[in-house]
Structure 1
C-alpha cells in the first residue's frame, strides 16, 4: 500500500484489539486478554511497535480514530461473543482508512472462505498467531505477496495452526498494554487446550490436545511481572486445567510459595471438583502457597445432567470440595450454574436451586455463586447435536443476546421461562446470603478476609459486593481496621494485658448509628471513646471488670469500636 511511509516501515505501529459490545463493566475488561498481549510481545521483539487494547466497541473506535494516522495494522481478536460487532467495525474501517486489518482468534477455527466476504479484513489467520502474524506483517512491510500457514484463501482448505513449544516466545509484558495503568489483577496462562470434553465447552470441544507450559516458564513470567509492579497483585490463572497434573501442580505450588516470600500477591485458579475430591489435601497446599479464591464447575445439582455434560464429577464431589474449602478456611469459592441447559425442566431447576441453598448452608460466607445460559459454541456437542440434550437453538450465532437473555430453550421450557427461572434462582440465592449475614451465621474472620481481599488485592466477592458494602457501619469498621492494620485491633485480638491498657476508639460517625438502640452506658462509652484506656473507662462508667468486658464485647460485635495502643 502506498500510504505506508518510510518511518512506519522502520518501526510499524500495530494495535491488537479485543472488544465486545457496549456493556461497561463486563468481566472481559477486567481480565487482560493474554492472547493479544503475548502477540504484542512477539511483534515488539521483532521490529514492530505493538500495543494491546481491550475495551467496549465505542471506546475501541474512538481509540482507532485517535491513532489512525500512525497505524500500520489493526489486529482484531475474534471470539463467539464479538463476531457480529467485528464484522460491522471492520466494514466501517475499510471504507474510511488504509491501514491493514487482520482477523484472528478462536472463532476463526470454524471460519471458511465465505467469511472473507463477511468480514472484509485484509486477512483472516486461523490459529495461534505467535509466528504466522509476524510472518504476514513482515511480508507487508517488505512489500512481498506471501501466503502464511493458517491464512484463509478462496478455494483452499486451511488448517488451524497449533503451537507446542511456547518456551521460545517472548513473555507477555504489562507495559505493552495501551495507556497502561497498573491494576491489581495479573492474568497468567499455564496451558492451552483441554483434555476434558464437556458438552458445552469450546476449548474441550475443539482443542486438539492439552499443551502445558513448563512450570519454570510460568514462574519466570510471574516473577518478571511482579518485579515491575508497585502494589500488591492478584495473580489470575486463566486456564481451567491447572489441576490436571498432580506432579506439575505441586511443582508450581512450591515455586509460588517461594515467590510469596519476596512479593505481595495472592492467586486464583479454576479447579476440577472430581480431581480435588480425590486429592483433598491439595486444597490446603494450594492455600499455603497463596490461593485465596478458586472456581469449580457446578453447572447443575442433578447427577444425570452433569453426566450428560461429561463433567466427570457428581454433586457429591462438589459438596465434598465445598466442605473441605470451608473447613480449611479458604476465603472464597465460586461456582457457576447453567440455567436452561441439558434436559432442563421445572423439576431439575428446583433440584439445582435446593442444591445451591444446601451448599450455602454448609459454608456461610464462602460461596460466590453465579448463573449463565447455554452458549451454542461452535464445535461443541450441544451445538452439533442439541436434540441429544433436549435443547432447541433459536439463535445459533448468538446475535440477539448480551448474555442477559437466552438464545436457546429446552423441550420443556420456553425462552421467557428459562429467563424467569434464572431470575428466581438468583433471588433464592440472594435471600439466603442476606439471611446468613443478618442472623450472624457468617464468622467475623470471613467478613474481615473479604474486606482485606477487596481493599488490598481488588478481589470483590459476592458477599462483599452485594451485602457488606451496603452496610455503611460495617464498611467503615473494616476499612479502618485494614487501613491501620496493627495500629487498630478488634476486641478478640487483644491479649489479657491489652484488654486493660488499650484505648477504645469509636469507629463509625454518630450519623451511622441508631442512637435510640443504645443504652445510656453504651452511648457514654462511645461519647468518651478515644480518651481513656479500658481500665480508665471502666472507672469513669463505674463498671466492674466483668461488666466492662461484656460491654466492649457487645459493642465490638456491633462494629462500633476498635482499639488503639494510645489515645
Structure 2
C-alpha cells in the first residue's frame, strides 16, 4: 500500500475559502485510486495533517501568493522525513523553472496523468532524472540545474477522469473549522480560449475541452445523493457560456434528470457570449447568478486588458439582459492597473455605482501581476518591482496599503488606498443585499419558474382553454410554455372575445391600468400580480429600504402593486368580475414575531402570500 498525502495551501483569510477546498486535488486523488491499485490518499491543510497520515509521497498545490507558505510546509515535512514532494497548481504550471530546493518535482499543467506517471515511477523505484526525462510536463533538479520536459499534454477526453472525492476534500476543512458548511463546485469543462493580459488561467489550461452531459449529470446526481442539504452549485468553468450547442445538450440532460428543480446554479460568462437564447437556456437549467469579468468601466482599459469583443456598452447590454430574463448578475472589477488613470478609475466607479441595482453582487480586486502573464511582463519592463527580491505574498488580490505591489504611476499610494477602500465598501454593500435575501430569492425564483407554469396550465385545463395569449413586460418561462402565445403589444391581440389573455405582471408596469382595461376588447383575463401586503414588501417599507434590496431593484419596472382588495376594485370598476383566485405563498419559514406585529398594526390579509393569480370574466 502506497500512501499519498495531498496538501492544500491557503491563508483561509476569506470565510469562503474555509468552505471550498481544492477540487483539483480531489480529482487527482480520485484518479489515482481509480487507475492504480494499492493506493491510499488523504488531503490535509497543513504539514501536521500530512505527517499524521505518514505518507510515502506528498503532493502540494499552490498559487503564486501561497507559494511561500507551501515551501514552509514542505520544509516541515522534509524535516520529519526526506520523502518525495511534488508541487502542482497555477504557479508552477506557468513558471516551470521556479522549482525551489524543498520541492523535488513540479507538474507543469494538468495533474492527473502526470501524477499517475510519478506514482508509477515511485512504485518501480524509478524516481530519478533519467526516467523523469521520459515523462512530459515535469520540472526537476539534476546536477544543480532545473530540467523541464515541457507542458503536460491536455487531457482530451475529460470523461476518463474520476469524479472528485468530495468526502476527502471536505474532511480537513471540517476538522480545522468547527462551523464548516461546504460550498459545492463542479467543473464541466477545462480551459479558456481568451488571453486576458492579467489572467493565468489560460496559461494553465490553454485549450478548451468539456465533459459530456452524461458525466456532468453523474456528478450532480452524486452530490444530490451524498449531500442532501446542498441546493446550490457553482459551475467553475472559466467560461460556461462559450458554446451554445454544448450548452443546449447539457441543459437537456439536466432537465431530463430533474436536476433543474434540485439545484440552483451559478456560472461565469464573458459578455460577448451572452445572448437572449443563451439566457433562456440558463433559466431552463435553473441558473441563479452569472459572473462577468468586466474588469473596468473604461473602454480604453477594457480593450487593453481583454482585447476586442467586449466594451462598457456590452456590459450594460448583458446587465439588462439578465434583468429581463430573471437572472442575477455578478461583476468582477479590477482597479490599480499600470496604465489606469484617475479618469479610468472614475469610469469603473460609475459602472458599479450608477448600475448598482443591476448588480446582485460585485467583487473589486487589486490588479496583481502574476508571473507569466502579460501584466507581469509589462510591470517588469516598467521596473515596477525587483523580481529577485519580490516576496510573492505581496502578490495578493486583497490590497494591503503597506505591502501590496502597486503598478499604477498615475496616482499616489495614499490616493489609491482611499479609493480602493471606497470601492470595497460599495461592492460589499451591494453583495450583502443579495446574500441576506438569497433564501427569499431562491424561493421566489423556483416558484415562478416551476410552480407558476403548472398553476397556469391547471387553470387553463379547468376552464377548457387550449391556449392563451400573453402580455408580459419581461421574459419568463411562461413565454416558452406550450399553450401560451406571447405578444409584443396589445395591438396584436386576436379579435375573438372567447380567447383568454394572460397578464404576467403587466398591470403593475402601466401608468393607468384602468384605462388599459377600459380600452381592452372584452375577454377572459388571467392576471398575475405581486401582493402588496406580503411580509417582505411591508418589512422593506417599514425599514425605509424599499430600493436597497435586490427584491426592490428587481421590480424597478413596476409602477404599482396591488392587494387582492385593490385588484377587485380595479377590475370591477371596468366591468369584470372575479371568478377564481389562487395564492402563491412563501415556502420558507417567515419569522413569527414580525408577522404578529404586522397583523396587529397593519391588518393586511395573508402576509405569507407573495403573488395572486386571478381569473376575471367580463360582465355582460
Q: TM-score, normalised by structure 1?
A: 0.71
List runs of 5+ in structure 1 lacking aligned partners: 1-10, 455-467, 479-490, 514-521, 528-550
SS of the residue 2:160 aligns to: coil
Q: 2:53 aligns with which of 40, 48, 67?
A: 67
Deviates more, 1:211-220 or 1:78-87: 211-220
SS of the residue 1:199 aligns to: coil
Conserved? CA contact 2:338–2:409, under 8 Å: no
Structure 1 residue 40: Cα displacement: 0.6
List runs of 5+ in structure 2 lacking aligned partners: 175-179, 447-538, 550-561, 569-579, 611-620
Structure 1 residue 26: Cα displacement: 4.4
Counterparts of 1:42 and 1:508 in 2: how far apart (Å)? Answer: 50
Q: 1:173 aligns with which of 165, 168, 175?
A: 165
SS of the residue 1:257 aligns to: helix
Counterparts of 2:445 and 2:74 in 1: how far apart (Å)? Answer: 40
Seen in structure 2, the aligned counterparts of structure 1 residues 291 and 178 have a Cα distance that, compared at 3 Å, is closer
- 2:28 corresponds in structure 1 to 39
Conserved? CA contact 2:138–2:152, under 8 Å: no
Conserved? CA contact 2:47–2:76, under 8 Å: no
- 2:255 corresponds in structure 1 to 257
Structure 1 residue 170: Cα displacement: 2.1
Q: Given the alignment of the two structures, is residue 106 of structure 1 paired with residue 90 of structure 2, yes or no?
A: yes
Q: Given the alignment of the two structures, is residue 317 of structure 1 paired with residue 310 of structure 2, yes or no?
A: no
SS of the residue 2:393 aligns to: coil
Q: 1:268 aligns with which of 256, 266, 280?
A: 266
Structure 1 residue 64: Cα displacement: 2.4
- 2:109 corresponds in structure 1 to 127
- 2:67 corresponds in structure 1 to 83
Counterparts of 1:112 and 1:445 in 2: how far apart (Å)? Answer: 45
Deviations 1:135-193 (A, max 9, x none): 22233234334423333233534201122222323222323436377955321112222
Deviations 1:488-546 (A, max 9, x none): xxx9699999999x9xx99454xx79xxxxxxxx979539xxxxxxxxxxxxxxxxxxx
Seen in structure 2, the aligned counterparts of structure 1 residues 259 and 429 have a Cα distance that, compared at 3 Å, is same
Conserved? CA contact 1:206–1:379, under 8 Å: no
Q: Given the alignment of the two structures, is residue 152 of structure 1 paired with residue 139 of structure 2, yes or no?
A: yes
Q: Given the alignment of the two structures, is residue 346 of structure 1 paired with residue 342 of structure 2, yes or no?
A: yes
Counterparts of 2:290 and 2:206 in 1: how far apart (Å)? Answer: 26
Q: Given the alignment of the two structures, is residue 161 of structure 1 paired with residue 143 of structure 2, yes or no?
A: no
Deviations 1:61-98 (A, max 9, x none): 33224323xx2222101222211111111122211224
Conserved? CA contact 1:260–1:289, under 8 Å: no
SS of the residue 1:371 aligns to: strand
Conserved? CA contact 1:32–1:187, under 8 Å: no
Counterparts of 2:338 and 2:122 in 1: how far apart (Å)? Answer: 48
Structure 1 residue 133: Cα displacement: 1.3
Q: Given the alignment of the two structures, is residue 294 of structure 1 paired with residue 278 of structure 2, yes or no?
A: no
Deviates more, 1:170-179 or 1:284-293: 170-179
Counterparts of 2:324 and 2:44 in 1: how far apart (Å)? Answer: 39
Listed as ranges, the matches of 1:307-456 within 5 Å are 307-311=303-307, 312-330=309-327, 332-361=328-357, 363=358, 366-386=359-379, 392-393=384-385, 398-400=392-394, 402=396, 403-405=398-400, 406-429=404-427, 448-449=440-441
Q: 1:222 aligns with which of 195, 204, 220?
A: 220
Structure 1 residue 268: Cα displacement: 0.9
Listed as ranges, the matches of 1:237-256 within 5 Å are 237-256=235-254
Structure 1 residue 321: Cα displacement: 0.9
- Aligned-pair Cα RMSD in Å: 4.1
Deviations 1:398-443 (A, max 9, x none): 3235423241221212334323211122334567789xx8xxxx9x
Counterparts of 2:70 and 2:249 in 1: how far apart (Å)? Answer: 41
Counterparts of 1:89 and 1:445 in 2: how far apart (Å)? Answer: 40
Deviations 1:25-62 (A, max 9, x none): 4444333422111111112122244445364xxxx233
Structure 1 residue 290: Cα displacement: 1.2
Counterparts of 2:3 and 2:429 in 1: how far apart (Å)? Answer: 52
SS of the residue 2:264 aligns to: strand
Counterparts of 1:225 and 1:379 in 2: how far apart (Å)? Answer: 36
Structure 1 residue 380: Cα displacement: 1.3
SS of the residue 2:9 aligns to: strand
Structure 1 residue 452: Cα displacement: 7.7
Q: 2:600 aligns with which of 500, 515, 526?
A: 526
SS of the residue 2:43 aligns to: strand
SS of the residue 1:295 aligns to: strand
- 1:552 corresponds in structure 2 to 603
- 2:278 corresponds in structure 1 to 282
SS of the residue 1:298 aligns to: strand
Residue-pair matches, total: 462
Conserved? CA contact 1:375–1:398, under 8 Å: no
Seen in structure 2, the aligned counterparts of structure 1 residues 114 and 375 have a Cα distance that, compared at 3 Å, is closer
Q: TM-score, normalised by structure 2?
A: 0.65
Seen in structure 2, the aligned counterparts of structure 1 residues 171 and 450 have a Cα distance that, compared at 3 Å, is closer
SS of the residue 2:392 aligns to: coil
Structure 1 residue 552: Cα displacement: 2.9
Deviates more, 1:314-323 or 1:158-167: 158-167
Listed as ranges, the matches of 1:442-481 within 5 Å are 448-449=440-441
